[in-house]
Amino acid sequence: RAPLGWAYVALCALVALGLGYFYLLFTCFSALFAACLLPVALSGMEGALAGVKRIGLLALILLVPFLAARAGAAPKPVPGGRSYPSCSLRHIGPLLAPAAGQVVLARAEDTPELLYRSQIETVGSLYEHGVPAFMRDRAAWRAVPGTSEPQAVVDTGAKYVLFCPMPGRYLLVADLPPDTLWDALNKGAVPPWLRAVGSDAAGWTLYKIVP
């Protein structure tokens, strides 16, 4: 039974690695297979010891993501400090109507919902073979705005920028000094090459890139 069990583990690992290689969306599958197949790896241990270790490993699998999420939660607003909008995308469609069919610079992680709720195109996301587009999106947010449109923004082909202020700093710019395009918009310091087209109750503002 043991050889068959390990053969099954190897087959699942190969499938997970293959999916991760061809489609970026499936890169997490290797970790998921490893977690699901832990009982097979522990099957050769004695009953009592195996039971204790299985319980410990299952607790670790369940608790680590929960603790990580709690640690990475957005900071609570300081009393008397700046309040932030919800940044919900549920009703984003009307705001994005003027940009229908155009490329919009937005956060990569918002792309699936933006594409579902509107007729725009986004610069990039992390789906399948979208790594080059994601890197262009990342470079644009990391650019120093200046008085004219940065080359990194030009390279995206975007005609609009969608932004909503939030506490803390965006992960894609967190390793840089706070002088990026994202930081400027988060402070309300809109560069001269952006013109506000509209905003909504959730806190989103659509900017048009102007010469």
Tens digits of residue pLDDT in 54-100: 666 666 665 665 566 555 544 455 455 678 999 999 999 999 999 99
**Burial 48-57, CB ≥16 within 10 A → b, else e:** eeeeeeeeee
Strand order in the sheet with 103-105: 121-122, 103-105, 160-163, 205-209, 194-199
| Phi, psi for residue 16 in degrees, rounded to 5 | -65, -45
Residue 125 CB coordination number (10 Å): 22
Residue 188 confidence (pLDDT): 95
This prediction has a pTM of: 0.65
Q: What is the token pair recorded at 34?
A: 């490893």
Task: Using the predicted structure, report yes or no on whether residue 120 has a pLDDT greater than 80.
Answer: yes
What tens digit of pLDDT does each residue of 20-57 get? 666 655 556 666 666 666 665 666 555 555 566 666 66
Answer yes or no: is pLDDT of 192 > 80: yes
Where do the structural domains in the chain lie, given as residue ranges? 2-71, 93-209
pLDDT value for 82: 72
Please state the length of the chain: 211
pLDDT value of residue 73: 45
> Can you tell me the distance from the alpha carbon of 160 to that of 198, in angstroms, rounded to the nearest whole number?
11
Chain-centroid distance of CA 179 in Å reads 21
More confident residue, 168 or 65: 168
